[in-house]
Each structure stands twice: as structure tokens, then as C-alpha cells.
């Protein structure tokens, strides 16, 4: 009974749209003159033939592969570092965390200034070193890497906070006991800290994967998916299909595919990794 308000909100804004999306994906796109009709899996078969779809899916996979391990590794490294005794520790922690506080749009604007040919920071530094200028975001071969680098910069600080919290919950006696037994720092990290951080790693990993599919704000500022869809990601493509090409049905189809693949990944992670993780 007390759950009713929450349930109504959940149904109205989560379950109904999800089910409606699934339904729409089996209909053709309707217009004023041509109402939408049931077309079965026609949208799906169209999708399989859509080159752009495969292109953005490939981009998205590379984007995930490029951002997730790197941002997690950097986050862990930073967390271990700022967890130690450092001068200005608070300041360093804050500066690592700052990118997270900034909205993605602001981050993209900052990096746009870095990447801009000739007047951008990178090219200015390169100019001083005597290197030629380069249009980083204009080249299909480098644009995705540019976006990956920027995303790592933004995400690592966020994940660092989780690692830092987990590190601080480890009792200091564990390290002392390990030291007395003759374990070096690396051995202690590998055999004790890292396994004990696994629950955090799983949490961060799932977040990172979801983020790699759902965070596309930067594309609006930096590239709009170009050039030639070289930097477009799945969600951005969905946005384009839905609100630039006004093909609601096809957008629904793509959305269903995105949701299903995310669900499969999440379930897979819980099933396969859960058993190997030690929870306190």
C-alpha cells in the first residue's frame, strides 16, 4: 500500500515507456497521411542491413574497450596514491575529483579548446616543439581516440572516489600484519588490497559500462558524431534517428537492442563475477 506512489511513478516513467518502446519497434513510422502499421520484425531486419548501425556499434565497442579498463586502472592508481600520506593531500584529492563535478558539456568545451587546430592548446604546444598542426577532431582515424581520452579524464576521478572510500575502510592492521610477515608493498597490494577491492571494482565496472553507452553529451559539443559517423555512438545515433530523422519506430528498435545488450552484460557480470568476489 505504502509502495503505491512509488510504484505508480515507476510504472509511468520506466516500465510503460520501456514496454511502449518495445511495442513501437514492431510498427512502421507513422505520419499524418500514413498511419503506422504493424510490420513485425521489419525494423530489425532493416537495422541489420544498416551500415551506420554497425559503424556506431563498432565505435561504441571500441569506445568501451578504450575507456573502461583505462579509467578504472587510473582511478585505482590515483586512489592508492592519494590514500597515502602526502603533503597537500586534500588539495590533490580535490583536483582529481574536479573533472567529475563538471557537467559533461563544460568538459567537452574545455577539451574542444585543447583539440582545436592551430589555436588549441595541443597544437600550440606542438607548434612550440616545431611539430605541424593537426585537426584532431577532423580526422576519422583520431577522432574516436580524442573522445576516449577526454572521457577517461572525466571518469577516472569519479571512480577514484569509490576506490578511495573502499581503501579507507580497510583496517590498517592488515597492512601491518603483512609487513611483519615480510610482504612488500606490491605483494600486499596484489594479494590483499586488490581482492578486497573486488566488490568496488565490480560496481565501478558496471557503472563504467553503462556510462560508456549512455554518456553522449560530449558528442553534441565536439563532433556531432562526425566526421562520417567516425565518432558517433549508439545512443547518439538513436537521438539522431528519433529527433533529426523523426523515425520513432526505428529509434525504438535501436533502443530495444541497446537495453537488451546492457541487461545481458549486467546479468553476465553478476553471474560470472559474483562467485569470485569476496564480500565482507
Residues that bind another protein (CB under 8 A): 171, 173-174, 176-183, 187, 191-192, 195-196, 278, 280
Nearer to another protein, 108 or 178 (CB): 178
Our CB check for another protein shows the closer of 183 and 242 to be 183
Q: 98 is written with which cell numbers?
A: 574536479
Of 138 and 199, which CB lies nearer to another protein in the complex structure?
Answer: 199
* Nearest CB to another protein, comparing residues 81 and 188: 188
What contacts 69, CB < 8 A, 6 or more positions away?
Answer: none
Among candidate residues 276, 114, 95, the one with its CA nearest the CA of residue 198: 276
Min CB(68)–another protein separation in Å: 24
Q: Which is nearer to another protein, 192 or 265 (CB)?
A: 192
Short-list 78, 228, 206, CA closest to 140? 228
Question: Helices in the chain by DSSP H: which ranges?
Answer: 4-10, 16-24, 42-49, 51-83, 89-101, 104-115, 121-128, 143-168, 172-180, 185-188, 194-196, 198-214, 217-222, 234-243, 248-274
Which of residues 20 and 174 has its CB atom nearest to another protein in the complex?
174
CB of 170 to another protein, least distance (A): 9
CB of 174 to another protein, least distance (A): 6
Q: How near is the Cβ of 163 to another protein at its closest, in Å?
A: 17
Nearest-angstrom CA–CA distance, 137 and 116:
8
Closest distance between another protein and the C-beta of residue 85, in Å? 13
Task: In angstroms, give the least distance from the CB of 197 to another protein.
Answer: 10
- CB of 192 or CB of 273, closer to another protein: 192
Angle at 135 between CA 153 and CA 114, to 5 degrees: 35
- Report in angstroms how near the CB of residue 277 gets to another protein at its nearest: 9
Structural contact between residues 218 and 225, judged by C-beta atoms closer than 8 angstroms: no
Query: Collapsing DSSP states into helix, strand and coil, what is residue 275?
Result: coil
Residues 278 and 231: their CA atoms lie apart, in Å, by 38
Amino acid at each position: 500500500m505504502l509502495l503505491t506512489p512509488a510504484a505508480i511513478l515507476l510504472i509511468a516513467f520506466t516500465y510503460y515507456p520501456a514496454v511502449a518502446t518495445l511495442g513501437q519497434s514492431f510498427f512502421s513510422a507513422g505520419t499524418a497521411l500514413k498511419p503506422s502499421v504493424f510490420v513485425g520484425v521489419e525494423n530489425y531486419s532493416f537495422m541489420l542491413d544498416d551500415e551506420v548501425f554497425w559503424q556506431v556499434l563498432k565505435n561504441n565497442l571500441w569506445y568501451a574497450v578504450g575507456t573502461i579498463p583505462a579509467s578504472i586502472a587510473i582511478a585505482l592508481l590515483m586512489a592508492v596514491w592519494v590514500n597515502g600520506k602526502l603533503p597537500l593531500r586534500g588539495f590533490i584529492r580535490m583536483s582529481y575529483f574536479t573533472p567529475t563535478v563538471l557537467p559533461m558539456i563544460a568538459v567537452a568545451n574545455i577539451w574542444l579548446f585543447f583539440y582545436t587546430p592551430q589555436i588549441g592548446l595541443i597544437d600550440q604546444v606542438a607548434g612550440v616543439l616545431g611539430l605541424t598542426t593537426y585537426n584532431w577532431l577532423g580526422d576519422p582515424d583520431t577522432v574516436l581516440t580524442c573522445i576516449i581520452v577526454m572521457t577517461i579524464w572525466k571518469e577516472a576521478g569519479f571512480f577514484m572516489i569509490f576506490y578511495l572510500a573502499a581503501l579507507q575502510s580497510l583496517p590498517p592492521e592488515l597492512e601491518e600484519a603483512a609487513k611483519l610477515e615480510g610482504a612488500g608493498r606490491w605483494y600486499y597490494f596484489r594479494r590483499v588490497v586488490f581482492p578486497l577491492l573486488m566488490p568496488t571494482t565490480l560496481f565501478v565496472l558496471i557503472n563504467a559500462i553503462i556510462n560508456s553507452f549512455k554518456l553522449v553529451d560530449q558528442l553534441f559539443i565536439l563532433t556531432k558524431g562526425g566526421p562520417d559517423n567516425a565518432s558517433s555512438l549508439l545512443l547518439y545515433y538513436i537521438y539522431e534517428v528519433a529527433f533529426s530523422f523523426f523515425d520513432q519506430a526505428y529509434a525504438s528498435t535501436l533502443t530495444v537492442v541497446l537495453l537488451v545488450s546492457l541487461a545481458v552484460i549486467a546479468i553476465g557480470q553478476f553471474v560470472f563475477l559474483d562467485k569470485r568476489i569476496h564480500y565482507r
